[in-house]
Chains A and B, each alone.
Chain A
Amino acid sequence: QITLKESGPTLVKPTQTLTLTCSFSGFSLTTNGVGVGWVRQSPGKALEWLALIYWNDYKRYIPSLKNRLTISKDISRNMVILTMTDMDPVDTGTYYCSLKYYDFFHFDSWGQGTLVTVSS
């Protein structure tokens, strides 16, 4: 059974760096073709794809946020980490991680999301 679970701070201050962790089970990021992505939803707005990392360390970022995002993986702990610098109140929202296979163009299994509020 595939599961993903997001974790991180519920509240960050403006200009701070957000670090989110996606802990997963039921698959491995050492397996060819496997990747994990991050998607967020700010209140009243559309879902927004943020970043992807694949088994071979290939990474992709949404162009508009590329300068603020870093995605990485910790194979030994079955985790994917997303950092976002210079947080702003507009970054408030629910952040989801998802399993993504390289050969497919959709997001397979998702976590339940973690709510992050940016406020002083």
Chain B
Amino acid sequence: QSALTQPRSVSGSPGRSVTISCTGTNSDVGGYDFVSWYQHHPGKAPKIIIFDVTKRPSGVSHRFSGSKSANTASLTISGLQAEDEADYYCCSYAGSYTWVFGGGTTLTVL
């Protein structure tokens, strides 16, 4: 059970869009439509922003969207705002009631 692969950092200007990738294997990302994404501002509790690949919990901005192709899931943040600056983690169900997370991506809003 290896960690999912995410870019260490991404950046974008206010108002623009960024996409964060999350690459796994056929045993996790590619095998199930159960990828979730979490936003984490250091010192605070992580927050779920996407679940089941594309679904947004109530109260999460429509600027956050998710997708998946084969073994890679993606999180797109459109209309970047300063408050979006945070760490983002993907997570996938990996079968047998186990889960695997990504290494995290730091988003910088320029």
A→B interface (CB under 8 Å): 4, 39, 45-49, 52, 60, 62-64, 96, 98, 104-113
Top 6 nearest A-B pairs by Cβ distance? A105-B34, A47-B101, A106-B36, A46-B3, A106-B51, A46-B103
Nearest Cβ on chain B to A82's Cβ, whole angstroms: 15
User: Which stretch, B12-20, B77-85, B90-98, touches the partner chain A?
Assistant: B90-98
A105 B101 Cβ-Cβ under 8 A: no
Residue of A nearest to B50 (CB): A106
Q: Given that A60-B98, A105-B51 are known contacts, is A45 also in contact with B43, CB under 8 Å in the complex?
A: no
- State the CA gap A109–B59 with chains docked (Å): 13
Residue of A nearest to B34 (CB): A105
Asked if B104 CB lies within 8 Å of chain A CBs, one says: yes
Annotate B1-14 by CB proximity to A: 1 below 8 A, 0 otherwise.
10110000000000
- State the CA gap A48–B103 with chains docked (Å): 9
Asked if B102 CB lies within 8 Å of chain A CBs, one says: yes
- State the CA gap A61–B91 with chains docked (Å): 16
